[in-house]
Amino acid sequence: MRSFCVSTLVALLLFSSAYACEEVCKSGTISKLMDKYTTDVLEPYFARKEEQFQVPHSLDPLRHAIQLECPDVLNANVFGYFRGKCQRNGIEPKGCPNPDCPSRCGTPGSMVHFFPKLRRLGFESIRTVIKNHTDPTSPTYKQIQARVEQGRELRKKGAPMRFQPRTYGNRDIPISVLYMRQPFEIHPKMEDVYNHKRSGDSDILHEFVPGFEASCGYKAEESGTDLKNCSWEAEMKNFILQFP
């Protein structure tokens, strides 16, 4: 009886590992999404906004918040949707678990089949974090505002400020160069160039969510053509299907 129970348990474990996106699959998928968003969308967009502020590293608090919070939000949203068994009336649909599973469940093949939904969940997760941290009541917003004001005070005193190339990495994966740009300096000029009102700073921060949406090609109505700049469909599908 004992050997039968052990054999049954082993069989169940093997079955579940073959028919679900387990921890390695989950963490790999989330890390891949974070890498693509950071490299292709967020850093280029943030770099443009930082130059509008004309203060190096002013958006570092937002960068840090995104890197810290987005993986957990992505994991909860993506795998809160893609979960459970694929069987319909006790029968496994053709294509499950791979390569193209027409049943919404917790397998790589299901994420591939319903890729537009996966793409939308990824976008909405990151947008939520950005929205929360660019709200005027958030600590991140206030930290950015303080950095901008401090940087402008330094410029008025005659200190040049230098933008440096930046490297970023995701949690639990080796740090890689995700975005780099040539260094340049901002030198003090006439005072009226830099004495922007706080309302101007607020406008730039409030533009983050609409700007992020525009960068991705967001449309309110889900379709096959929305988020065209934040899709990476072929690359993501090939990556996901490497997991059993």
DSSP-derived secondary structure letter, 221: S
Residue 161: in which H helix or E strand, if any? strand 161-163
Total-model pTM: 0.76
Domain boundary assignment for the chain? 23-240
- 97 close to 18: Cβ distance less than 8 angstroms: yes
At residue 85, φ and ψ (nearest 5 deg) are: -80, 155
Residue 201: per-residue pLDDT: 61
CB atoms within 10 A of CB 83: 14
* pLDDT tens for the 244 residues of the chain, in order: 544 444 444 444 434 434 568 899 999 999 999 999 999 999 999 999 888 888 888 999 999 999 999 999 999 999 999 999 888 888 888 888 889 999 999 999 999 999 999 999 999 999 999 999 999 999 999 999 898 888 777 766 655 555 455 544 444 433 333 333 444 343 444 333 334 444 456 667 778 899 999 999 998 888 777 899 999 999 999 999 999 8
Strand partners, 215: none
At residue 158, φ and ψ (nearest 5 deg) are: 105, 10
Residue 55: per-residue pLDDT: 85
Residue 2: per-residue pLDDT: 47
Determine the Cα–Cα distance for residues 63 and 189; give it in Å rounded to an integer: 28
Determine the Cα–Cα distance for residues 33 and 75; give it in Å rounded to an integer: 11
Planar angle of CA 185, 191, 196, nearest 5 degrees: 90
Residue 162: in which H helix or E strand, if any? strand 161-163
CA atoms within 13 A on the CB side of 221: 1
Start-to-end C-alpha separation, the chain: 31
Residue 123: per-residue pLDDT: 97
Measured CA distances, 206 to 14, 18, 34, 53, 70 (Å): 49, 45, 23, 13, 19
